[in-house]
């Protein structure tokens, strides 16, 4: 029997079933590449198939905020990993959340409430975190 290993991760609600590429105003000095996110020096971000995210934190998940929550979570993840400076790029990520919500038919008032929530409560989720370790569990 082949050994089977997995990691127990925090709960996620959604997993991308097809990759997504989007233009951002966030321009890193060099290519950023993780297993599931790529951000090039032109601001093009690709989120790979199978990327997992938790939807819109603090709000009801709705078609007008799902794509925004995906992109925003990926950008904040790059900040938490220290690949993007959260002080330099957090506002642009929050503005992009607002813009995508508007593109996806959220009213300006609702999109504005999301943006306000990010302004007041988002920083702790963007700051680089203490590196979490996950226990790998393997069969014998």
pLDDT in tens, 36-87: 999 999 999 999 999 999 999 889 999 999 999 999 999 999 999 999 999 9
pLDDT at 123: 87
Q: Does residue 33 sit within a domain? A: yes
The DSSP bridge partners found for residue 46 are 21, 38
Residue 69 counted as domain residue: yes
Does 3 map to a domain? no
* Residue 5 counted as domain residue: no
State whether the Cα torsion 119-120-121-123 is positive or negative.
positive
What's the pLDDT at 96?
Answer: 98
Distances (CA, A) of 63 to 22, 49, 101, 128: 17, 19, 9, 29
pLDDT mean over 11-30: 93
Q: Considering the domain boundaries, does residue 124 fall inside one? A: yes
Does 2 map to a domain?
no
87's CB contacts (< 8 A; 6+ apart) are: none
Compute the mean pLDDT over every residue in the chain, rounded to the nearest whole number.
89
The domain of 104 spans 10-129
Domain assignment present for residue 32? The answer is yes
Total domains in the chain come to 1
Query: Could you tell me the pTM of the whole model?
Result: 0.86
Q: With respect to residue 21, please indicate whether it lies within any of the assigned structural domains.
A: yes
């Amino acid at each position: 029997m082949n050994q089977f290993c997995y990691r127990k991760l925090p709960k996620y609600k959604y997993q991308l079933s097809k990759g997504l590429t989007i233009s951002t105003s966030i321009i890193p000095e060099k290519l950023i590449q993780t297993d599931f996110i790529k951000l090039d020096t032109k601001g093009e971000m690709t989120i790979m198939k199978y990327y997992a995210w938790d939807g819109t934190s603090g709000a009801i998940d709705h078609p007008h905020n799902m794509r925004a929550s995906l992109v925003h979570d990926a950008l904040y993840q790059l900040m938490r990993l220290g690949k993007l400076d959260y002080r330099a790029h957090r506002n642009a990520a929050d503005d992009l959340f607002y813009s995508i919500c508007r593109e996806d038919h959220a009213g300006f008032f609702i999109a504005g409430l999301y943006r306000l929530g990010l302004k007041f409560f988002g920083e702790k989720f963007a700051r680089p975190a203490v590196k979490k370790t996950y226990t790998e569990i393997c069969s014998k």
